[in-house]
Amino acid sequence: MPGPRKKKRAQGEVELNLAAMLDMAFQLLAFFILTFKPAPVEGDVVLRMPPPMPTTILKNAEALGSNEKNTNPVQGLTSLVITVVGDDSGTMKMLAVGDTTVGGLEDLDRKLKSVLGDQGTGFDQVLIQVSANLNYEELMQVIDVCTRQKLAEGQRLSKLSFVQLPGG
């Protein structure tokens, strides 16, 4: 049997005290405003960098003079060597592909296009020899030119290695 019903009060409205919630919300807001630091938009040069290895893989090569029919005893050369030398201030003063000196980054671009795009050469990675004092910014310009190149098979060049030249 139900008990006696309580009479509903006319002024029975429940009013939430929002001030406490507002205080907490303002504290959270202050935290987020103070810790907010917009991240700069930075670019990436993504590279696959194996440790520097000898530039000739001799699996296809034969010793000079061992086979009279072999006119290319260094077949198997897969790394193209680029040399970058800096002056005392770290600015680039000499740039060479193999043993050929190139005039600048545009020359380097042209040279790499002709060498790496040639299917006969078989290069699939670039080994960059860098003098110890060369600035990172100068090196990045060379890396940028290298990573824009396409190999003979059509894929982008992404295998690079660095070697420090003695001295400096």
Partner 1 sequence: MAGSMSSDDRAEPNLTPILDMVFQLITFFMLVINFKTATLDMTLRLPVVGSVRPVETKGHDLLVLNIDKGGGLRVFGNQIENIPAYIALEAQASLLAAKRFNPELKAGDDLPSMVIIRADRKTPFRYLNAVILACQQNGFRSFSLKAMNRKEER
Binding residue (CB under 8 A) for partner 1 from 100, 137, 150, 156: 137
Q: How far apart are CA 97 and CA 111, in angstroms?
A: 8
Report the run of H or E that residue 84 belongs to, with start and end.
strand 79-86
C-alpha distance from residue 47 to each of 50, 51, 57, 147, 160 (Å): 9, 12, 21, 8, 7
- Print the binding letters for residues 68-97 with partner 1: x by CB under 8 A, - otherwise: ------------------x---x-------
85 forms beta bridges with: 94
- Print the binding letters for residues 138-157 with partner 1: x by CB under 8 A, - otherwise: -xxx-xx---x---------
Binding residue (CB under 8 A) for partner 1 from 6, 8, 10, 32: 32
Query: Taking Cα atoms as reference points, which of 51, 7, 25, 43 lies closest to residue 144?
Result: 43
Binding residue (CB under 8 A) for partner 1 from 28, 58, 74, 94: 28
Q: How far apart are CA 159 and CA 157, in angstroms?
A: 6
Residues 94-133 that bind partner 1 (CB under 8 A): 130-133
84 forms beta bridges with: 95, 130
Tell the smallest beta-carbon distance from residue 103 to partner 1 (Å): 19
Binding residue (CB under 8 A) for partner 1 from 2, 4, 54, 136: 136
Footprint of partner 1 on this chain (CB under 8 A)? Answer: 18-19, 21-22, 25-26, 28-29, 32-33, 35-51, 86, 90, 130-137, 139-141, 143-144, 148, 162, 164, 168
